[in-house]
Amino acid sequence: MSAKKYLIGLTGNIATGKSTVLRMLERLGAKVIDADALVHQLMAKGMPVWQAILGEFGEGLLGPEGGIDRGKLGAIVFADAEALKRLEAIVHPAVTARVDELIRQATEPVVVVEAIKLIEAGWHRTCDALWVVTCPQEQQLERLMRMRKLSREEALLRIEAQPPQEDKAALADVVIDNSGSLKEMREQVEWEWERLGV
C-alpha cells in the first residue's frame, strides 16, 4: 500500500453495532474517527454549534449545567423531519471540517470515519470503501430500549426517522451482518481487514 491513506466510511442505522465495529477496527490498527463523538464535542457549552442550535431551537433545550439536553433535542428532531434538516444544516458543516482535519493529521495507513449520516452527508463518495453494519429491526429496538432507556414507541420513532437499511446496504462495498454473535461479527471484520492487505 502506498503512503496514501485508505479511507473507509463506516455507517449503518441506529443501534446496528457501528461503534462496536469501529472499536474492532481500531484494535486492528486503523485510525478511527467517530463523528457522533465529534458532534458531542462541537455541541459543548459555549461552542459556536451550541450557540447556533440554541438560536434555532430555543433555550428550552438547556440542561441544568448549561449544556444542550440531547434527549429534548432528539424528541424535537425525530418527530419532525424539517426540524431534523435544520439541525443537520448547523451540525454537518462543522463536523465535516473537523473530520477533514483529523484525516489530514492521521499517520495510520487506514482511516475509518464512522457516521450515522455518512451517506446522507455525501461523505461516502470521498471514501475508498463504504462499510455498512446491519441487523434486524427487532434487535435495534431491543438495544435502544435497553441501552438508551427508551420506550418502544420512542425507539421506533428513531428507527423510522432513518432511511431503510437495505438502501444503505445496496451502496456498500462491505456489509457487516450483526444479527449473530459478537464473535461472528469480529470474524467478518477481521476477514475484511485481512483483504485490505495492510
The rounded mean pLDDT for the chain is 94
Predicted confidence at residue 117, as pLDDT, reads 87
pLDDT in tens, 142-160: 999 999 999 999 999 889 9
Predicted confidence at residue 2, as pLDDT, reads 37
pTM: 0.87
DSSP, residue by residue, the chain: --SSPEEEEEE-STTSSHHHHHHHHHHHT-EEEEHHHHHHHHTSTTSHHHHHHHHHH-GGGB-TTSSB-HHHHHHHHTS-HHHHHHHHHHHHHHHHHHHHHHHHH--SSEEEEE-TTTTTTTGGGGSSEEEEEE--HHHHHHHHHHHS---HHHHHHHHHTS--HHHHHHH-SEEEE-SS-HHHHHHHHHHHHHHHT-
Going along the chain from its start, the domains and CATH numbers come out as: 6-196 (3.40.50.300)
pLDDT in tens, 46-97: 999 999 999 999 999 999 999 999 989 998 998 898 999 999 999 999 999 9
